[in-house]
Amino acid sequence: MTERMRILSGHAQHIGARHSQQDSFGLADPDDHEFLAHGGFVAVICDGMGGMEHGEAASRTAVAAFLDAYKRKMPEESIPDALLRSVREANEEVVTLAATLNVVENMGTTLVAAALTPVGFFHISVGDSAIFRVTAGEVAMVNRHHVFSNFLDQAVDRGVMSREDADRHPERESLTSYIGVRNLEEIDRNVEAWELAEGESVLLASDGMFKSLEGDELLAGLHGPPQSWPETLVSKTLAKGFEFQDNVTVVSVTIAGPDTEEVAPKKDDTLELRPTLPLPGPSNRRMLSMMILIVVLMLTAATAAAVWNLHSKHR
């Protein structure tokens, strides 16, 4: 593989059956070859926690803070160190925003990110969104989720709980780590590059996708140009017709080879495609957080007013 990578990326997003879009994502600049040479191409998805307050503000703040922090990586800083620093800065921003809103420990988001380099890729994650490696017609999740089932499974292994009780436990899917906790300890990452050859890809996805599609359905969506995979996977997810379908976000990043299929990304009117978030300067991140909050509150108020007016007309 040459030192100058050619990156192909695709993304798709849908609100599902929810009232608001609490997923956010961001991508690096594929044309910044000077930065790509030492930082690789980074992509990130954050899934705001619906059971907590201001999930959309949390995910947008985390994505913007993560990308801003990673963009400040210098050549002497390793990629794993830069990813870890960026996650911790994102966490600090969400904690600060939660304190400003007086919702401490009740505001959070998951985060998954991957950095593709000429020697392979690095990943980092907090929570239960997913990172998949796609190679040779196979797809495999590479990150470990931070959910209570990990502790339940350990209890089964120690013989202090039955498998049946562990599988039926009502808190099995509850998160044990997320962006927005004061003491962020559970972080999954690799510190040595995992091989990724030309033509191979990394997929990032919120749980609205991979908890809706079976493994064979996911694999069936990985045909044709990799840039088209996110739209295909989002469409397959929506086609399941689940009544309470969660927000869905999928990002694909491919190291292009000479035989890699490539198409210009298409906009499907049935999908809500969210553009890459701008990268604010360090001094503007808190202002960004407050601006995001104001926009979210304005949208919430507008929605409430519309519902009230509609209700009044039918009384």
**What residues does each domain of the chain span?**
7-313
**Left, alpha or beta for 158 (phi > 0: left; psi -120 to 50: alpha)?**
alpha
Q: Who's near 271: CB < 8 A, 6+ residues apart?
A: 12, 13, 14, 231, 234, 235
What pLDDT score does 136 carry? 82
Helix (H), strand (E) at residue 150: helix 149-157
The percentage of the chain sitting over the pLDDT mark of 90, rounded to a whole number, equals 60
How many angstroms separate the CA atoms of 9 and 16, rounded? 22
- Please provide the DSSP assignment of 191-256 as one string: SSPBP--TT-EEEEE-HHHHTTS-HHHHHHT--S-GGGHHHHHHHHHHHT--TTPPPEEEEEEEE-
Of the listed ranges 57-66, 95-104, 115-124, 157-166, the least confidently predicted one is 157-166
Rounded to the nearest 10 degrees, the angle between the axes of helix 285-313 and helix 55-71 is: 160
How many angstroms separate the CA atoms of 161 and 65, rounded? 41
Paired residues of 9 in beta bridges? 253
How many CB atoms are located within 10 Å of the residue 122 CB?
A: 23
Residue 307 has pLDDT above 70, yes or no: no
Which two three-digit tokens encode residue 266? 């298409």
Mean pLDDT of 217-222: 94
What pLDDT score does 134 carry? 95
Q: Reading across the β-sheet that carries 130-135, which strands appear in turn?
A: 7-14, 248-255, 201-205, 130-135, 138-141
Residue 31 has pLDDT above 90, yes or no: no
* pTM (2 d.p.): 0.80
**Residue of 132, 110, 97 whose CA lies nearest to 233:** 132
How many angstroms separate the CA atoms of 4 and 119, rounded? 11
Sole residue written with tokens 């796609």: 134
Paired residues of 255 in beta bridges? 7
Residue 14 has pLDDT above 70, yes or no: yes
Residue 117 has pLDDT above 80, yes or no: yes
What pLDDT score does 297 carry? 53
Longest pairwise C-alpha distance within the chain: 68
Q: Who's near 115: CB < 8 A, 6+ residues apart?
A: 39, 40, 41, 42, 70, 79, 82, 83, 121, 122, 123
CATH class for the region spanning 7-313: alpha beta
- How would you label 129-139 residue by residue, b for 16+ Cβ within 10 Å and e otherwise? bbbbbbeeeee
Mean pLDDT of 57-77: 97
In total, the chain counts a number of residues equal to: 315
**Band (262; pLDDT cuts 50, 70, 90):** confident
The amino acid occupying position 88 is R
- Are 33 and 7 in contact by the 8 Å Cβ rule? The answer is no
Rounded to the nearest 10 degrees, the angle between the axes of helix 79-100 and helix 55-71 is: 140
Q: Which residue has the higher pLDDT, 155 or 122?
A: 122
Residue 299 has pLDDT above 80, yes or no: no
What pLDDT score does 280 carry? 36
**Band (259; pLDDT cuts 50, 70, 90):** confident
What pLDDT score does 164 carry? 84
Paired residues of 12 in beta bridges? 250
**Residue of 176, 275, 259, 219 whose CA lies nearest to 6:** 259
Residue 278 has pLDDT above 50, yes or no: no
Mean pLDDT of 15-19: 92
